[in-house]
């Protein structure tokens, strides 16, 4: 077990190094050159020279790379061109919003998707089964941002039930120790704030979670269908175990394995899809931050943002692999 973990951690290093090289080269491929990229539009010939000296851009490329690596490992991504604040600071401001949205979307997808897939498999060929197949298909065919727009139209514009943009009604004032608005409302003991932040969270979470929902439902259904026919399930039933016990202890448990494998994939999707969902709902997370950065050619932000997201993604995949090894003894012992 430990050997597996260590092996996976060691594999992580070349990938992270490779990523850093990729981004390093990418900054140098940007129009205008890296000094211009770091300064933005306010670059004058003199300030360019200054930046070049400061960042060692006049030195040979391997020395540049080493210094870049040093800075990045300290999570120093430079300063945002538009706000002049440290990129790492802005990441810390924006990241919780995206995490809150992503977690809610994932929760929605899992809480709805697994039961749906399970019931669909148990009643193969029935109404629920066909419904789940249609839902899955639609789920992956509707672009996330279009679903967001539709939900907004139905629930905010036409029915007026839910708010259209943002995380919280600007008139409600609470402290934000964790920057997770739902958590902060609970900590502040403010039920109005809690209700309001939840209302703001619902539509974006559903829009973002639609595709993971579709995928999870499908995979659960396929996994349960497969597991149902396995010998050990037949044995459990023959033993006389209550159907519900068989379902939960044997069928569901083993069907969960394929789902764990794709969680990594889903997190990657959530990180990418958040960009679109946040734009539709004006959610102040990493997504909107990156989109603004592209439009304003804010390359330090882009560099830091992309590296950070990739890092998170790689770490999540590592955790998923490790937990899969824990859950599946065959991998652990191989």
Partner 1 sequence: MSIAETEARQLELEGPSGLWGEAFWRLRHNKAALAGFALVATFVFVALFAPMIAPSDPRAQDLSLIREGCCPGPSASHWFGVDALGRDELSRVLYGARYSLLIGIVSVIVGLSFGIVLGALAGYMGRVVDTVIMRLMDIMLAIPGLLLAIGIVAMLGPGLFQIMIAVGVTNVPIFARLLRGSVLAQRENDFVLAARAVGVPRRRILVSHILPNAMSPVIVQGTLAMATAIIDVAGLGFLGLGPQDPSTPEWGTMLTDTVRFLQTAPHLAIIPGLAIVVSVLGFNLIGDGLREALDPKMRGRA
Binding region for partner 1 (CB under 8 A): 14-15, 18-19, 22, 26, 29-31, 137-138, 140-146, 149-150, 152-153, 157, 268-269, 271-273, 275-276, 279-280, 290-291, 294-295, 299, 302, 306, 309-310, 313-314
Nearer to partner 1, 86 or 149 (CB): 149
User: Angle at CA 16, nearest 5°, toward 260 and 297?
Assistant: 105
Nearer to partner 1, 30 or 262 (CB): 30
* Bridge partners (DSSP) listed for residue 86: 79
Q: Are 65 and 56 in contact (CB under 8 A)?
A: no
Nearer to partner 1, 255 or 286 (CB): 286
Least CB distance from residue 156 to partner 1, whole Å? Answer: 8
Burial of 158 (0-12, 13-18, 19+ CB in 10 A): exposed
Nearer to partner 1, 194 or 310 (CB): 310
* Longest CA–CA separation in the chain, Å: 83
Least CB distance from residue 137 to partner 1, whole Å? Answer: 6
In angstroms, the CA 246 to CA 12 distance is 39
For residue 86, give the 3-state DSSP assignment.
Answer: strand
Q: Are 309 and 98 in contact (CB under 8 A)?
A: no
Least CB distance from residue 316 to partner 1, whole Å? Answer: 11
Least CB distance from residue 201 to partner 1, whole Å? Answer: 19
Where would I find the H helices in 142-282? 144-151, 181-187, 191-228, 231-239, 243-245, 253-281
Give the H/E segment covering residue 69.
helix 61-73
Q: Are 190 and 174 in contact (CB under 8 A)?
A: yes
Nearer to partner 1, 126 or 329 (CB): 126
Nearer to partner 1, 14 or 189 (CB): 14
Q: C-alpha distances in angstroms, 290 versus 171, 190, 234, 279, 297?
A: 27, 32, 52, 10, 10
Nearer to partner 1, 52 or 292 (CB): 292
In angstroms, the CA 47 to CA 81 distance is 14
Least CB distance from residue 99 to partner 1, whole Å? Answer: 15
Least CB distance from residue 104 to partner 1, whole Å? Answer: 18
Least CB distance from residue 191 to partner 1, whole Å? Answer: 30
């Amino acid at each position: 077990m430990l050997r597996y973990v260590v092996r996976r951690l060691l594999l992580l290093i070349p990938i992270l190094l490779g990523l850093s090289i990729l981004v390093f080269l990418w900054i140098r491929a940007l129009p205008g050159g890296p000094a211009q990229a770091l300064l933005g539009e306010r670059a004058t010939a003199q300030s360019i020279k200054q930046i070049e000296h400061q960042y060692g851009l006049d030195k040979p490329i391997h020395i540049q790379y080493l210094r870049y690596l040093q800075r990045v490992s300290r999570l120093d991504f430079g300063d945002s061109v538009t706000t002049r604040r440290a990129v790492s600071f802005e990441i810390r401001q924006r990241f919780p919003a995206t995490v809150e949205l992503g977690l809610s979307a994932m929760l929605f997808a899992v809480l709805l998707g697994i039961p749906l897939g399970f019931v669909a498999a148990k009643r193969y060929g029935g109404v629920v089964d066909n419904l789940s197949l249609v839902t899955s298909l639609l789920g992956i065919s509707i672009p996330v941002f279009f679903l967001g727009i539709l939900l907004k139209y139905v629930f905010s514009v036409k029915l007026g039930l839910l708010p259209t943009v943002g995380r919280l009604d600007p008139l409600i004032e609470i402290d934000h120790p964790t920057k997770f608005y739902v958590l902060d409302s609970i900590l502040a003991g403010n039920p109005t704030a809690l209700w309001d932040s939840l209302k703001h969270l619902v539509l974006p979470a559903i829009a973002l979670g639609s595709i993971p929902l579709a995928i999870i439902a499908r995979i659960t259904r396929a996994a349960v269908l497969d597991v149902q026919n396995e010998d050990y399930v037949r044995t459990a039933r023959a033993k006389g175990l209550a159907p519900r016990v068989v379902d939960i202890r044997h069928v569901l448990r083993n069907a969960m394995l394929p789902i764990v494998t794709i969680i990594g994939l889903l997190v990657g999707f959530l990180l990418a899809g958040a960009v679109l969902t946040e734009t539709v709902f004006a959610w102040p997370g990493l997504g909107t931050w990156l989109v603004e950065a592209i439009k304003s050619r804010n390359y330090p932000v882009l560099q830091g943002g992309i590296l950070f997201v990739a890092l998170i993604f790689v770490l999540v995949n590592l955790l998923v692999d490790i937990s899969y090894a824990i859950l599946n003894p065959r991998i652990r012992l191989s």
